[in-house]
């Protein structure tokens, strides 16, 4: 981890801390960053599934294992 000096909106930090149930500012910031990254990954996967892109549905070996 790297220490950084940043200006943080106090109201947003307070709200994020409350929502996340974080005990410290560090925990609130790190968990907030993690939530942003995970949300972006979920959107990416949902988009991929909705467009049926980059899926292995035509691969018989993959599909054979899908029903086990």
What is the value of pTM for the model shown? 0.71
Whole-Å CA distances, 5 to 1, 13, 55, 57, 63? 13, 15, 42, 48, 50
- Read off the pLDDT of residues 6-20 as tens digits, 9 standing for 90 and up: 999 999 999 999 999
Q: Write down the pLDDT at residue 68.
A: 60
- Read off the pLDDT of residues 17-33 as tens digits, 9 standing for 90 and up: 999 999 999 999 999 99
- CA-atom Rg of the chain in angstroms: 19
Residue 46 CB-density burial (10 A; 0-12 exposed, 13-18 middle, 19+ buried): exposed
Token reading at 66:
């899908």
- Read off the pLDDT of residues 24-57 as tens digits, 9 standing for 90 and up: 999 999 999 999 999 999 999 899 888 877 778 7
């Amino acid at each position: 981890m790297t220490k950084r000096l940043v200006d943080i909106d106090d109201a947003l930090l307070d709200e994020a801390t409350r929502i996340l149930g974080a005990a410290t500012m560090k925990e609130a910031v790190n968990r907030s960053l993690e939530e942003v990254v995970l949300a972006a990954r979920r959107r990416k996967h949902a988009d991929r599934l909705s467009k049926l892109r980059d899926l292995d549905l035509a691969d018989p070996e993959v599909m054979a294992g899908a029903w086990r």
